[in-house]
Structure 1
């Protein structure tokens, strides 16, 4: 995996009741691996450690942080993330506080995994599976206040 950390700045135009407002939202995607450790009390704990590279079969945890750097609330924030081509999404692993999660198998149609279909070699359609997911979308409920942030995440395995 060439670049595991990327930063994007997104200007989201948000429509208010009468006038449009502008909220600046910064997105940062980071890749982690889980590491078992022992805490000060001698208990086994799992922590996330930044990932520099991955081996085939290794699970990667992608954490996308969104931060409202503007001076207006960010209403209707949507975070889209492509699953890297060399990765396979781990079913049921997408999560995000106050977020509605949708998936895509073609990069344009989003919905619950159970509602998605994938064409077969003979032209028929079959139910989509986690391995078919190519993109994820989190729609954040409510407004993200200026200066605040949140995270969404998912797991994928290097093919």
Structure 2
């Protein structure tokens, strides 16, 4: 019989019955709250927009970041660089109002997201540029000259 305490997912210490014939309340609650939830609950529902996926491609000369975010305008994006941390964010608000003789209907919409990345020291931050076209935000992160991959070469033996 073991006297070791186990640490469940919620971080609290609990003693488990060594015969394992019953489920205690803590385990039951862990099971309820840690099971896979429908995507409506795991998305960024507080902001009205799910977190867009990012593709990052590395070449010998640069990194290319691509983010699919259709339906926005260039002016909706904010791209900031602070101490080698690249942040991409957007915030959109929409308000409509429909007035009739007996009632007024107002609808409000708000959506936002923010993604941040620690950039390697090899990035030439003076030459970073971004483009938004056909729903794809592309950010080119060029490497410093000394960090660029040199082509393979043969070395002659003397």
Tell me the TM-score normalised to structure 1 length.
0.32
Tell me the TM-score normalised to structure 2 length.
0.32
Structure in which a larger fraction of residues adopt helix = 2
Structure in which a larger fraction of residues adopt strand = 1
